[in-house]
Structure 1
């Protein structure tokens, strides 16, 4: 498994939903809100195994409220492979 990292925001919503559903995150039940939130985050990085989205990390910042939220999510298969190393 060779993982490629990207900061491009050209991720298809279907790939995002597959990742979120695989991790049983309820955000997948609101695809529009999820996609818009990701695309409008301060920073967005994705991890790919060939053409399959296996991970995503996003950073939300706000100067007005002075807080930062970092969220990352990876497929179970990827997490298990990384733990084996």
Structure 2
């Protein structure tokens, strides 16, 4: 049975293992990743007993905008509704905010978010500067 929590009770090693299981580069920077998660506005996690199997991170401005970063589920647990359940927890927590934004890692994930009532921004574009190659 999967249990969900907003408590940041995960370890650096558990987080690194989860991120590396899905091939995300941030897993190669465990200290920075752990610090970033601990300083994030909200982190919902999913647990199978003592194993961290899912995580969703949110950054917010306390009033108007919540941005979802990192929605991931260990490959052995994908397809069981874990990501959707975590996303619904986020939607409930931030229901009084004006906006909840998400930038999917891959366009193939857009239907998942649309299923959970998100809409593609008609006039928006995702842009970023990627500095991770230069920093450890």
Bin for the TM-score computed over the shorter chain: 0.7 to 0.9
How many equivalent pairs are there?
A: 79
Distance 1:12 1:48 in 2: 13
How large is the Cα RMSD of the aligned pairs?
A: 1.6
Q: Could you list the runs of 4 or more consecutive aligned residues of structure 1 that deviate by over 6 angstroms after TM superposition?
A: none
**TM-score, normalised to structure 2's length?**
0.53
Aligned to 2:43: 44
Aligned to 1:76: 75
Which blocks of at least 5 consecutive residues in structure 1 are unaligned?
none
For residues 12-48 of structure 1, what are the alpha-carbon distances to aligned partners after superposition, in whole Å with 9 as ceiling and x for unaligned? 1111010001001000111111111111111111100
Q: Which has the higher contact order (CA 8 A, sep 6+)?
A: 1
Aligned to 1:60: 59
Distance 2:59 2:76 in 1: 26
Give 1:67 deviation, angstroms: 4.8
Which structure carries more strand by proportion?
1
After the TM superposition, which residues 3-22 of structure 1 pair with which residues of structure 2 at under 5 Å, given as runs?
Answer: 3-22=2-21
**TM-score, normalised to structure 1's length?**
0.83
